[in-house]
Amino acid sequence: MARPASGKECIEAAKKLFKSARTAEELRMAQAVLLPLEMGLSLEQTAKIIGRSKGATCRMRTRFVQVSAGQRPASRRKRTLRNRAKADLARERQILDEVLASAASGGIVVVPRIKPEVEALLSKPIALSTLYRMLARHGWRKLAPDTQHPQGDPEAREAWKKNSPASWRKS
């Protein structure tokens, strides 16, 4: 016969977590404590209901009981950034608003030119591809390809073009 579930002293804390859970993991943790104690389910049945293995369910219950009894500190792991992100989305938006103020009114954005400004505001070096992805994330897109180099000379370009005499053309 299986031993009875422990943790009766933390039922109220589990009920409170069950009502105020903000993530699926918090909800599963509350269910892992409440289902065996309130419904009399076994650990295997509880694990099947919450979609975790028997071992993971047991660890969840143990961790919750220890935290509510004050034997273990609560987990402080809160992610505020995306994986390997240089800044959160609000900060990215603020940086782009500062750097692209002139471009918002129809100016041209040349990414290699704004890269040092963005790096200065982030206080971190970034790759050009990171900057292109940041612009795409916030709705900036390339409207037209560059047809000529920005530092090019239009007169020299016209003089370089081949100007054939009319006699060489087929009639």
Q: Give me the pLDDT at residue 87, please.
A: 86
What whole-number percentage of the chain has pLDDT above 90? 23
Q: Which residue range(s) make up the domain with 92? A: 79-141
Between CA 121 and CA 96 the distance in angstroms is: 10
- The reply to whether 136 and 101 lie within a common domain is yes
- The reply to whether 61 and 85 lie within a common domain is no
pTM higher than 0.75 for the full model?
A: no
108's CB contacts (< 8 A; 6+ apart) are: none
- The reply to whether 56 and 93 lie within a common domain is no
Between CA 128 and CA 125 the distance in angstroms is: 10
Residue 84, in any domain of the structure: yes
Residue-wise pLDDT tens digits, 90-114: 999 999 888 888 776 666 778 888 8
Q: Which candidate, 105, 104, 101, 106, places its Cα nearest to that of 117?
A: 101
